Chain A
Amino acid sequence: GAGVSQSPSNKVTEKGKDVELRCDPISGHTALYWYRQSLGQGLEFLIYFQGNSAPDKSGLPSDRFSAERTGGSVSTLTIQRTQQEDSAVYLCASSLVMPIRKSGYTFGSGTRLTVV
């Protein structure tokens, strides 16, 4: 597609429920990243996928968080048993394969998750 697409745009869920957030990266971008942006704060790295390599999960805050990327394209971030502190904007980004030294990322518009 022309850009990084994320769905849903907004999600309100009850505490304790599971949620799935979707990211559809730019076609041909083999690198995909998830970030979390809590209210009034910067972006916190969550997870990184690069091609068929094992993902870098070092940023996931707890074992309630998991992510997968099917067929090297679409990615799903799953949060189980959501807590109020999970409320944030979840941003996805994709980029050309490393090491394209000058490339930044193309970001999606994010999913705003509210846990009530």
Chain B
Amino acid sequence: AQTVTQSQPEMSVQEAETVTLSCTYDTSESDYYLFWYKQPPSRQMILVIRQEAYKQQNATENRFSVNFQKAAKSFSLKISDSQLGDAAMYFCAYRSASGKTSGSRLTFGEGTQLTVNP
């Protein structure tokens, strides 16, 4: 079974600064997808960025980028020029690329609560 670990329960950053959230995972599969989701107080999970394991290039979405290290099974999220609206709980998630029914579920880490200080 796959597991996802986020070792930072809480992080804080000054507005306009850069912060990196850590995520490691464990899997025996070679083809999978990794995601970062943001959960504001509204509770709705919002997709921030995704990465296909077969792609060596790190995904980027505006101020959000990842450092994907497949051999190390590491998938960190970097937020540049942090804004007050970035404050939320961030979850790292894994999804198998297998066509099997159970492979479609997301496995989540425990989350990192990000605070942005003005």
Contact = CB atoms under 8 A, between A and B. Distances in A.
Given A42-B91, A102-B33, A104-B50, A56 B105 contact: yes
Contacts of A43: 45, 91, 106, 108
Interface in B17-52: 33, 35, 37, 42-47, 50, 52
B108 A42 contact: yes
Contacts of A31: 104
Contacts of B6: 42
Nearest to A91: B45
A70 interface: no
A41 B43 contact: no
B62 interface: no
Interface residues of A, number: 29
B97 interface: yes
A66 interface: no
Contact of A45 (B91, B106, B111): B106
Interface centre among A42, A56, A89, A98 (most CB of B within 10 A): A42
Contacts of A71: none
Contacts of A45: 105-107
Nearest to B45: A107
B52 A102 contact: yes
A48 B107 contact: no
B43 A91 contact: yes
Interface centre among A31, A41, A105, A108 (most CB of B within 10 A): A105
Interface string A76-108: 000000000000010101010011011011011
A33 B43 CA distance: 16
12 contacts: A33-B105, A40-B111, A42-B109, A43-B106, A45-B105, A56-B101, A56-B102, A89-B43, A91-B45, A102-B50, A107-B45, A109-B42
Interface of B: 4, 6, 33, 35, 37, 42-47, 50, 52, 91, 95, 97, 99, 101-102, 104-111
